[in-house]
Amino acid sequence: MRVEVIGKNFEISEPIRDYAVNKANKLTKYFDGLQLVTVRIMKVNHKANAEYEAEIILDVEKHDDFVSHATGQDAYAAIDLVMEKGERQLRDFKEQLKKQ
């Protein structure tokens, strides 16, 4: 599984990249058909107390991509929130597959 971390309106530091990659790697325990995880982190405004938006795109075998969005006070909080949403989508999808 590949993980891409992309920053928009700010530079992705190595600790933020590592944090996002570690979180994304944990998603395989919910569904092992993941091929690509793309994490986009955007700074909403350039003020000192700027909010961050995170988007995650989960490329899954034999299904359309799952997309989630979240907003947080810092990049780490936004990553946490968006990963929780992606995790829930994967769990729900796996449950649907089990019922078929």
Number of Cβ atoms within 10 Å of the Cβ of 41 = 25
- In the chain, how many domains are there? 1
Q: Are 57 and 66 in contact (CB under 8 A)?
A: yes
For 77, the domain range is: 2-99
Q: Are 39 and 79 in contact (CB under 8 A)?
A: yes
Structure tokens at 55: 């988007």
- pTM for the whole thing? 0.90
Profile the chain (100 residues) by mean pLDDT over runs of 10 residues: 91 95 93 92 82 94 92 94 95 88
Residue 38, domain CATH: 3.30.160.100
For residue 4, what pLDDT is reported? 96
For residue 66, what pLDDT is reported? 94
Beta strand pairing call for 52-60 and 34-43:
antiparallel
